[in-house]
Amino acid sequence: MNCKGCNRPAKAERLPHRWKRIGEASYCPQCLHERYVVRTVAMTVVEPLGATWLEFRAALLESWAQVTSAANWMVTELYARDVRRQDEVKMPPMPRVYLYPEARRLFPGLAPLTIASLAHTTQALYVAARYHVIWTHARSLPTYRYPVPLPIHNQLWRATMVDGRPIVRVRVGDRWWDLRLKGGPRYRRQLTAYEQIIAGEAIAGELALYRRRAHEGPITARPNGNQRAPHAVACKIFAWLPRARDEAAGTASGTLRVRTANDTLLTAVDINDETWRYHGDHLRRWSAEYRRIRQRFAEDCQVDQRLAPAVADRRTAVALRYQRRMRSAVREAAAHVVGHARRKRCATVLYDDSVRVFCPDFPFAALRERLRTDCDAAGLRFEYSSDGDSARPDGHLATMALTFSGPPVGPARSPAGARIGTPSR
* Residuewise pLDDT in 10s, the chain (425 residues): 788 888 888 877 788 887 888 777 888 888 888 888 888 999 999 999 999 999 999 999 999 999 999 999 999 999 999 999 888 889 999 999 999 999 999 999 899 999 999 999 999 999 999 999 999 999 999 999 999 999 999 999 999 999 889 999 999 988 899 999 998 888 898 999 999 999 988 889 999 999 987 754 444 444 444 445 578 899 999 999 988 766 555 567 789 999 999 999 999 998 888 899 999 999 999 999 999 998 888 887 776 655 556 677 778 888 888 999 999 999 999 999 999 999 988 889 999 999 999 999 999 999 999 999 999 888 888 999 865 443 333 333 333 333 333 333 333 344 445 544 444 43
CB 132 within 8 A of CB 165: no
183 and 45 share a domain? Answer: yes
Task: Determine the Cα–Cα distance for residues 211 and 252; give it in Å rounded to an integer.
Answer: 42
Q: Does any domain span residue 406?
A: no
- What is the per-residue pLDDT for 218? 42
Dist. CA 69–CA 145, nearest whole Å: 9
Please tell me the distance from the alpha carbon of residue 90 to that of residue 136, in angstroms, as a whole number: 12
Q: Which of 184, 219, 242 is the last residue of a domain?
A: 242
Task: Assess if residue 67 is contained within a domain.
Answer: no
Domain for residue 365, yes or no?
Answer: yes
Rounded to two decimals, the pTM is: 0.74
> Are residues 161 and 288 located together in one domain of the fold?
no
Q: How many structural domains is the chain composed of?
A: 2
Nearest to 39 by CA among 239, 209, 208: 239
Both 282 and 369 in a single domain? yes
Domain boundary among 242, 265, 292: 242
What single-letter DSSP state applies at residue 15? P
Which pLDDT value is given to residue 400? 31
Find the domain containing 370 and state its range. Answer: 248-394
State how far Cα 116 lies from the chain centre. 20
What CATH number has the domain bearing residue 350?
3.30.420
Within-domain flag for 76: no
- Distance (Å, whole) CA 189 – CA 416: 24
Do the beta carbons of residue 33 and residue 6 sit within 8 Å?
no
Shared domain for 226 and 305, answered yes or no, is no
- Say yes or no: 213 and 259 in one domain: no
Q: Are residues 254 and 211 located together in one domain of the fold?
A: no
What secondary structure does DSSP assign to 142-159, as a single string?
PEE-SPPPEEE-GGGEEE
By DSSP bridging, strand 36-49 and strand 25-27 are unpaired
Radius of gyration of the chain (CA): 24
CA distance to 84, 103, 248, 271, 417, per residue, from 368 (Å): 37, 39, 25, 21, 22
Asked if 359 and 302 sit in the same domain, the reply is yes
Q: Is-contact 115 70, C-beta < 8 A?
A: yes
Distance CA 325, CA 313 (A): 19
- Position 423 scores a pLDDT of 41
Q: Does the residue 324 lie in any domain? A: yes
**Other Cβ atoms within 10 Å of 169 Cβ, number:** 14
Closest to 145 (Cα-Cα) out of 68, 245, 233, 225 = 68
**Whole-number Å distance between alpha carbons of 218 and 198:** 35
